[in-house]
A and B are shown apart, each in its own frame.
Chain A
Amino acid sequence: MSEIDYLNASYTLRSWFLTTDHKRIAILFFASLTVFFFIGGAAATLIRIELATPQADLVSADGYNRLFTMHGVIMVWFFLIPSIPNTLGNFIVPLMIGARDLAFPRLNLASWYLFMLGGTVTLFAIFAGGIDTGWTFYTPFSTLYSNSYVLVAVSGVFIVGFSSILTGLNFIVTIHRLRAPGLTWYRLPLFIWSLYATSVILVLATPVLAITLVLLAAERFFGVGIFDPRIGGDPLLFQHLFWFYSHPAVYIMILPGMGVVNELISCFSRKEIFGYKFVAWASLAIAAVGFLVWGHHMFVSGQSLLASLVFSFMSFIVAVPSAIKVFNWTATLHKGSIRFDAPMLYALAFIGLFTIGGLTGLFLACLAYDVHATDTYFVVAHFHYIMVGGMVTAYFGGLHYWWPKITGRLYSEGWARAAAILIFFGFNLTFFPQFVLGAEGMPRRYHVYPPEFQVWNVLSSGGATILAAAYLLPLFYLGYSLFFGARASANPWNAPGLEWQTASPPPEFNFATQPMVTRGPYQYSTDFEPEPQNA
């Protein structure tokens, strides 16, 4: 042991569970999220096994309802939403902006405890008997008819919402107030811009989910009929309130992934991001317009045609800033000195998969086609291309990129590349057949289906097997690197970001002296030297 860093500064349990160090809290989140990821993944595995044959052979109809609800609830609220912000973001944001911690370290710790409390409550609901409403908790089924643990599960989601709000609040204030001297907004790495946009959504959308769940719980518990048409209540109001949160939540899940991809693309093509300002403002544009598109989840729910037209139009508009990003990443690659290290493989996979997910989103924004595709596997495939193909891929890319910084160890590049390629093929084999199934009319949320759909379902289940194995691989080689990996230097990628100019792993307070910044974030092109005053 040579240097004192944040990992070896202290070994007591107390120094972990009562820590206010953003780096240790990031590790706490990382460990918890990994567990939830594999719980949600186990549910997905059971779903794919059931769907390998047209008839019911593993679970009953009711059991299947509980299975896909569990998969959705766990993956959305206990993995995707906190994934990049609470792990990589928590670790990297202060380092990237030259700060010693987030603005409110104790709130950061409180966020983790709220996350664990919400997670425990939700897991209790699942293991006590489960919930059968789907992750969307649609009324009146969730309030009047469901005989499952709706109240408990809703409480868990309600609690974890506060964890999201605290993290978003912490990021907003940190990015405003704790930037290093000279680090102006246009010198910020684009990862920071995208997390800022994410945080705005976290802070403004999550409370609407909270109040919606309170109304749902009040109706279910007291039987007062807030969303019950028999006394003049309106089930559509629930859908409006729910999607006012849950559509922006999609951008909570994808924006941080886009942020990571900026860092990876520029590092592994050794170039500045093309059109920096456009990419930066595109994040905020997505966050802003993303609040105005929720009605596209309700084209067949009976909302007015005028409302549908407006929501359809806005959904096309939100594709513009997303496309700006994709084009700018492509332009960044142009004439770059591209290296195909594992993080870059993930970044390239992200661009392809996100493009497919985004373009099929435009199919669904079309009023006419959406009537045909609503509640089919086409929708399932579309959002998995964004959520899994996009977000999870970016999460793995970022995890590999910053792994040497976080742990001070190098992972095995060969294994990492193999896993990245396997994930890409496994993913496409799992979800591309679902586009075909959906276009041919197979509805989602059924555990049995007509035999003519079996070929595509078998392909999908086969792909899921590959994907599951590929997702398990990093557990082994990254775990191995923790103990036997070569020690990482401070800057193994030779990157200019501030996070690479302190030791790997960083010391407890990140920087010995306050770093200064005199230039933009992606100075790869010319002979790269660290900023002299920070060397």
Chain B
Amino acid sequence: MLKGRAFAPQFASSRHRDETAELGMWVFIATEVLLFGGLLLGYFVYRHANPLAFAEASRHTDIVIGAANTAILLTSSFLVACAVDALRANARSASVALLAGAIVLGASFLGLKGIEYADEYREHLIPGIDFVFDGALANGVQLFFVFYFVSTAIHGVHMLIGIGVLATLALLVHKSGSTRRRAALHSAALYWHFVDVVWIFLFALIYLPGRSGG
């Protein structure tokens, strides 16, 4: 009775399955919001307690790489959105090419992040490994960099997972463009956009304090 159906037994139709999968992704994103929310709460508590130190620490971050990475990630999100639309219009090879572009951009984001980490290592700004900072603000600056590294590292892990997901979907879409693939790509795109949105918050909190006006 249930063998030979194109969708699992708990669903009534393939459309039912696809809509269910999308809801699953939204609930997962809700979880992720709270994960980063806890982290940002810690950041705000300490920034409130050490406003000068956080401004000073922020001036030691590399805003050029930060801004470039923001542009790169936003562009990759744009490509992923186009890939979803392309697959909906049955342009499979265009969709795969757009995904490949997004993957390359994602990888360059991580590459630039690595260069940034290396620079910070040379400047003795990595707490717990090599941290040297003189002056009265040293403790607050260290706290800033702890949150900087923990949050960018967790964001980086999300990027790696996202790249893996996009690569898998590029392969799957290359093989077939079924409605199931469309739904999966749609959910993957939601995840990628979410990782992008997290970065927009991180960019503002990491690079901008202490750089506005006086």
Q: Taking beta carbons and an 8 Å cutoff, which residues of A are in contact with B?
A: 94, 99-105, 165, 169, 172-173, 176-178, 203-208, 210-212, 214-215, 218, 221-226, 230-234, 237, 241, 244, 509, 512, 514
Contact = CB atoms under 8 A, between A and B. Distances in A.
B58 interface: no
Contacts of B45: 234, 237
Main secondary structure of the interface of A (DSSP, over half): helix
A165 B31 CA distance: 8
Given A214-B150, A234-B49, A241 B139 contact: no
Interface stretch (B36-44, B78-86, B114-122, B170-178): B36-44
Given A177-B23, A203-B27, A210 B10 contact: no
Contacts of A173: 20, 23-24, 27
A132 B10 CA distance: 46
A203 B23 CA distance: 13
B2 interface: yes
Contacts of B46: 232-234
A211 B38 contact: yes
A254 B23 CA distance: 27
Contacts of B50: 232
A44 B129 CA distance: 41
B139 A203 contact: no
B128 interface: yes
A223 B128 contact: yes
Interface of B: 1-2, 8-12, 16, 19-20, 23-24, 27-28, 30-32, 34-39, 41-42, 45-46, 49-50, 127-129, 139-140, 142-143, 146, 150, 154
Contacts of A222: 127-129
Given A101-B10, A169-B24, A232-B46, A203 B143 contact: no
Nearest to A206: B31
Contact of B143 (A206, A223, A233, A241): A233
A103 B150 contact: no
Of the listed residues B28, B34, B128, the one surrounded by the most CB atoms of chain A closer than 10 A to its CB is B34
Contact of B16 (A177, A206, A225, A237): A177
Given A94-B10, A215-B39, A218-B128, 16 more contacts: A99-B10, A100-B10, A103-B10, A104-B24, A169-B24, A169-B31, A177-B19, A204-B31, A207-B31, A208-B38, A211-B38, A214-B150, A224-B142, A225-B142, A225-B143, A241-B38
A179 to B, nearest CB: 11
B146 A169 contact: no
Contact of A103 (B20, B31, B35, B42): B20
Of the listed residues B31, B32, B139, the one surrounded by the most CB atoms of chain A closer than 10 A to its CB is B31
- A-B pairs, top 10 by smallest CB distance, nearest first, are A222-B128, A207-B35, A211-B38, A231-B139, A101-B10, A224-B127, A208-B38, A207-B34, A224-B128, A100-B9
A215 B127 contact: no
A99 B154 CA distance: 37
A178 B20 contact: yes
Contacts of B10: 94, 99-103, 105, 178
Contacts of B150: 214-215, 218
Contacts of A103: 10, 20, 24
